[in-house]
Structure 1
Amino acid sequence: MVEYRYLGNSGLKVSEITYGNWVTHASQVDDSAAIATVHAALDAGITTFDTADTYANTAAEVVLGKALADQRRESLEIFTKVYFPTGPMGPNDTGLSRKHIFESLHGSLKRLGTDYVDLYQAHRFDYETPLEETFQAFADLVRQGKVLYIGVSEWTAEQLREGHALAKQLGIQLISNQPQYSMLHRVIEGKVVPASEELGISQIVWSPMAQGVLSGKYLPGQPVPEGSRATDEKSGANFIKRFLADDVLTAVQNLKPIAADNGLTMPQLAIAWVLQNPNIAAALVGASRPEQLADTVKASGVKLDSDTMAAIDAALGSVVNSDAEDTYSVSPKSRLV
């Protein structure tokens, strides 16, 4: 069963393997399969579910709401996000203005079928809205009881410091950041993680398997497998392209004996590696079939010794991206509409 960790400097516990529905619900799989995977997650001890209003242009929230409708609400941690365009893409259908935050949260609550969300996350940093406006809106939603905690996604170390200071002034808790993080993509380690440790902020990391590349199924010099994420434009094909270079795929194959020596599958090794970092509260995983979760949840609680961690570093060598400067290019400098 899945183990649990505290989220940031708070009393909230989350399942260290968290179910995310970014590229699956209302997109890659039909609703019945999506609901079955959510129920498989619950059966495995996953209690934390992450979504966003922008996923499938709000439809992913609807599917997750249906899947969780018969569950005891108090036994779940439901996370969603705000920033990216939704609806007809009007001038205020994006960003972190007070207007968009309030309208987005109320829409999310309706679609999810709940009176509150446990964590409401700024999906990116909004350079066009004063941060004071954004955090005042968050604080008002917290005081209304519609949001319990505040998080962000892909913020820089400096943005985290500024947001944390404002949250503290307003008497609310900024407890999490949701960045990309995996064996291959370690850009948060240089600045974001040290700042977060100082501030009491945890990471909820997405793509711990580097969009599936760390499963080992993509082979150097070979066509990508039919039906894989790399062939589906709706399922993150653009995100995976950066990991499909032959030198990266060759290095990933070097991980197979390391996984075998530890009695792990390649997906389990990838997720277990992420969870060795004490600043990581949860690794986000998705699934298109229930049986996929049966494999990945076994990474929970796995301890990798120092020799194994060193062997992973040696196997991947120079293909790892650890450039902290890359954290400054994730949030768009202007809104998308």
Structure 2
Amino acid sequence: MNLSDLSYVLHPLQAAIRDGFVRVNEGVPSKPGLALRPGDVVACRLPPLPSLEASPEDIPLDVVYEDDHLLVINKAAGMVIHPAPGNYTGTLVSALLHRFGLPSVRLSADDSPGDELEAAESEDGDEERAVPWALPETPMSVGQSGDVIRPGIVHRLDKGTTGLMVAAKDERTLTGLAAQFKAHTVQRVYHAIVLGVPKEAEGVIETNIGRDIRDRKKMGVFSYMGRHAVSGYRVIEPLAGDSAAYTAWRLQTGRTHQIRVTNDHRWTSVESHPLLGDDTYGGAGGTAVAAIGRGKGARQVVAHRVLKLLARPALHAKTLGFVHPVTKEALSFTSELPTDFATVLEELRNLD
């Protein structure tokens, strides 16, 4: 065993070793790969995480609905929700700060919306916030005590996922929306393209989802740990000669990567249907080319073309419905499929 073996558990460990925050037998190890011996005493003090700043940015938003209390947007692919390592700019938070004329604000590491991923997809997830954040009623400037990013976001979408999201403008609306997400009364329907065709045309999948014990950038399905997840699905139509399927998903819970990891998980001992284009969970690269191409040159050309065109998981938040916390009006919104998703769908429909 050596110290670097623990890096999958605690991502900053190797950097901490290099920076002198780890000591072995009261001395600083010469390298992260120092071999440990029986009786060695290891002391570790991790450096404080840096604070993250969000500044207003003039980022166009596709606003589907807006009133004095909330707004609903149609999120584009590639946008992350709030700043995190690897994604400091171009976030939804920055776009909202600009839209509402608010100054830059700072989020300390301790205030960050927990369970984040330390990768290019650091915002990713569709998990409702246990502690929701609202836009500050009194804007604060960077550097003031108590600065905190409060963007009114009660749920998230993955960086690569497109579709509908709601954000609150005030505490009353925020509290009301958060209560609906917690009670699972918010109507959410997602459309996805998966590899293969599920044997059952529709069904409900119940499982537990938690952080992958080998790779914390991913989620995993467990029988003995994690959080309960319930996902209802329906096959809208088979595609590409049954090598893929256009599906609809209705979530009863909101877990990080819920649809993505559920499809990667083997539904039975022989069945698995990762999302097309999802490199993290096995739906891209050679797996997708093999599933769609079937060893035939013309089909393989199509497979490569749709993967290049999509370049993300084929997942779209199609429908969002909730009761307005202030007016008590039942609101329901539906968004069109984005161009890349719709084009890939047609390509696969035309592939026998």
TM-score, scaled relative to structure 1: 0.31
Greater fraction strand: 2
Greater fraction helix: 1
Q: Which has the higher contact order (CA 8 A, sep 6+)?
A: 1
Q: Which of the pair has more CA radius of gyration?
A: 2
